[in-house]
Amino acid sequence: MAEIISGKEISEKVKAEIKAETEKMKEKPGLAVIIVGEDPASKVYVNNKAKGCEQVGFLSRVYRLPESTRFEELSELIKQLNTDREIDGILVQLPLPKHISEKEVINLITPTKDVDAFHPVNTGRIMTGDYYFLPCTPAGVMRMLREKKISVAGKKCVVVGRSNIVGKPQAMLMLNESATVTVCHSKTVNLKEECRQADILVVAIGKAKFITADYIKPGAVVIDVGMDRDENGKLCGDVDFEGVEKVAGAITPVPGGVGPMTIAMLLSNTLTAAKYAGKK
Ligand code: GUN
């Protein structure tokens, strides 16, 4: 049976470190989260982000804007926050309503406050390894591996999914740490064969329990980034946990795996941004 990698436990350790640093600071780091519309999953994520801020002693502001918000109004808010000394991190929850361009909105955030690391300046910096922030989910995955003393150097890493938020930066972070990386996606021929080559498999495709035991090389490390619902409406990942844990060497559960790490990394980025802004 595979070792269970508890993101919940590791995230508690990371948050305790952040809290300890924050307690020593005279000016608290501040995070502004903007949500536009009523997407139920987004509402849960935003509440969890605010809760995380509270746990570590950050200032937290949540802006809940109606679905009908115009780009100009959102733009005005972001510009204000860009120059607000209390606020070190700005996060616009995605997806945005269809009438607002996500790209244009992300481009408005000052790169040194872009704690999601979605701005082109930050995504570009990840390519060269010279970054202010790492995107939260891939950074959380790397931190979990580090905590478990799982080195990626020289390993065959397979990333399933090529989104800008997870798959692409995940591949880049693994490459920066000297892994041999394959990125697979919906057009990949022989996905199962590719996955079976992986010493470390990261799955971020948004399809409930898609990756079954026959995709796994015995002993492999399996990281499940999925947040899906199974046929009974129960939260599950992209990996069929029950089958895969019998073959893998280590595996992250859903819930309690990558999810809590993402929030811990967001808090870590906000602390970095506060220091960048000169807060001590
Ligand atoms: N929607 C889903 N994941 C994320 C994330 O990491 N950041 C933001 N801003 N929106 C998201």
93 is catalytic: yes
Q: Long-range pairs for 121-129 at CB < 8 Å and ≥24 separation?
A: 123/164, 123/169, 126/169, 126/172, 126/173, 127/172, 129/176
Give the active site residue among 116, 224, 228, 240: 116
pLDDT average, residue stretch 182-196? 98
Torsion sign, CA atoms 114, 118, 124, 125: positive
To the nearest whole number, what is the mean pLDDT of the chain? 97
Closest CA to 184 of 173, 176, 196: 196
What percent of the chain is predicted at pLDDT more than 90?
Answer: 98
pLDDT at 66: 98
In this model, does residue 213 exceed pLDDT 90? yes
79 is catalytic: no
197 is catalytic: no
Separation of alpha carbons 194 and 14, rounded Å: 33
pLDDT at 219: 98
Give the residue, out of 116, 225, 258, 268, with the most ligand 1 atoms within 8 A of its beta carbon, to mutate for a pocket test. Answer: 116
In this model, does residue 267 exceed pLDDT 90? yes
pLDDT at 102: 97
CB 224 within 8 A of CB 258: yes
pLDDT at 262: 97
What is the DSSP code (8-state) at residue 149? Answer: T
Architecture of the CATH domain 27-111: 3-Layer(aba) Sandwich (3.40)
pLDDT at 132: 85
Identical topology for domains 27-111 and 136-259: yes
In this model, does residue 272 exceed pLDDT 90? yes
Separation of alpha carbons 71 and 35, rounded Å: 13
Is the CB of residue 94 below 6 angstroms from any atom belonging to ligand 1? yes
pLDDT average, residue stretch 39-52? 95
Torsion sign, CA atoms 120, 124, 44, 60: negative
The Å distance, Cα 144 to ligand 1 centre, comes to: 19
User: What is the per-residue pLDDT across 57-86, written as a single tens digit (0 to 9) for each?
Assistant: 999 999 999 999 999 999 999 999 999 999
Residue 129 burial (C-beta neighbours within 10 Å; 0-12, 13-18, 19+)? exposed
Top CATH class, 136-259? alpha beta
User: What is the per-residue pLDDT across 110-155, written as a single tens digit (0 to 9) for each?
Assistant: 999 999 999 999 999 999 989 989 999 999 999 999 999 999 999 9
The Å distance, Cα 148 to ligand 1 centre, comes to: 25
Listed by start position, the domains of the chain span: 27-111, 136-259
Is the CB of residue 139 below 6 angstroms from any atom belonging to ligand 1? no
